[in-house]
Amino acid sequence: MKAIVKPKPIEGERWLPGLRLVDKPEPEIESTTDVKIRVIAGAICGTDGGIYNSKESLRREMMKARKPEIILGHEFCGKVEDAGTKAKEVLAQLMMRHGKSHPMVKKFSGRRSPKQVSKDKKFLEVLGENFYCSAEMHITDGTCYQCRLGEKHVCQNTIIKGVHDDGAFTQYVVVPVENIVIFHNGEIAPEVIAFMDALGNATHTVQSIPIKGDTVAILGCGVQGLMATAVVKFAGAKKIYVTDASRDNFSHEKLVATRFRLARTYGADACFDVSVPEEHEAFVRRVMNDTNNTGVDAVYEMSGNYRAYEDAFRVVRMGGSISLLGLPSGVTSVDFAKDIIFRGVTIHGIIGRRVFETWDLMRDMLKKGLAQKFIDSGFITHDLPLERFEEGFAALRNGDALKVLLRTS
């Protein structure tokens, strides 16, 4: 099978930018709880871009990789191809739960138990014909302190498929059944299922602060910022202010015509190019004017730029909250006494998705119209065969893409 790979970094050696398309053997089911998935489409994530560019923070992570080279990709949509015996029973439970109103599922299941259904020779065929699937690609140990508290998103021993172990930029991927999520045909478009992993990051960020009826600033209007804008609007925010910064290869005019246009479509009340001094000051002034010099209730930092951290502290109200998802490079200084302690500000660091709370919330939002909004607005800018992955990564580097799909079948 064709696969996009990156070699594991070696201590003391240069980790060269770029990726390769190679032939790999199909993965096999090794455990009774394994599920083999035929990938339909993967989606390029910012993490994949960082790996392509050999970003230092990703170098540190991929030093933990289990193999000399790793198949990238952790956003995907597919169909169940095969499963171990225990996995089949869990899949039958999922099918009967999420497809209870589905005529084919009702007819096939009848009065049988999930265990009986899982032993039917046609079970996998019926599942594959009537359901799409994706997966939580953070594989957790289930035994550490955090997992036992129900906080799998901060498991001490997380293995990320596509970073530490083989991922989904290929034709087949094997995932533990406890990480599988299924959707009956017609529930959510497969093109949207393919990037739900990424949407989960934005959704988890929004989940970290209750914001119904509140004022919100979203710093960074890339893929994550745009998705956060849509989720914040869905969650009932009163006012949404969005910022981003134009640059040499991404002009102010282009920023306004593309990302800011979409942000307004998704619910932003005002957008500001903070690389333009007048707009930077207009952002702060607008927030303060609208909030009687109080500041916003919540700030979501999605850009990974330390200059945006400064803006976060300027516009958040006393007693407000800041959630950080963007991954900055290097270090910065923070005046903890002035900016955090004396102002009573709460800081949240966001990683992954709450399993499966975030997935359930995403399913609900997408079914209620958010999926169609993403499709109709042109959020998916590129839909390419796997072999043209270089084109997709180049479009992302140039700022010409938002969500890029890579088709494997």
Q: Do 113 and 239 belong together in one domain?
A: no
CA dihedral 250, 251, 253, 257 (to 10 degrees): 10
Q: What is the mean pLDDT of the chain?
A: 95
CATH number of the domain residue 238 falls in: 3.40.50.720
Q: Of residues 60 and 182, which shows the higher confidence score?
A: 182
Give the number of domains in the chain.
2
pLDDT, one tens digit per residue, over 190-239 is 999 999 999 999 999 999 998 999 999 999 999 999 999 999 999 999 99
Backbone torsion region of residue 191, taken as left when φ is above 0, otherwise alpha when ψ lies between -120 and 50, otherwise beta: alpha
φ, ψ of residue 3 to 5 degrees: the values are: -150, 145
Kindly give the interhelix angle for 277-290 and 306-315, rounded to the nearest 10 degrees.
30
Q: Is 369 within a domain?
A: no
Residue type, 276: V
The model's pTM is: 0.94
Model pLDDT, residue 409: 72
Q: Is 271 within a domain?
A: yes
Model pLDDT, residue 259: 97
Q: Is 358 within a domain?
A: no
pLDDT, one tens digit per residue, over 1-54 is 999 999 999 988 899 999 999 999 999 999 999 999 999 999 999 899 999 999
Q: Do 278 and 257 belong together in one domain?
A: yes
**Cβ-Cβ contacts under 8 Å for 30 (sequence gap 6 or more):** 174
Q: Do 188 and 318 belong together in one domain?
A: no
User: pLDDT band for position 104 (50/70/90)?
Assistant: confident
Q: Is 370 within a domain?
A: no
Question: Which range of residues forms the domain containing residue 139?
Answer: 2-194+378-407
d(CA 77, CA 95): 16
Say if residue 258's pLDDT is above 90. yes
pLDDT, one tens digit per residue, over 312-324 is 999 999 999 999 9
Q: Is 330 within a domain?
A: yes
φ, ψ of residue 318 to 5 degrees: the values are: -60, 130
Q: Is 335 within a domain?
A: yes
In this structure, how many other beta carbons lie within 10 angstroms of the beta carbon of residue 342?
A: 11
**Cβ-Cβ contacts under 8 Å for 230 (sequence gap 6 or more):** 266, 267, 370, 373, 374
The reply to whether omega before 356 is within 30° of 0 (cis) is: yes
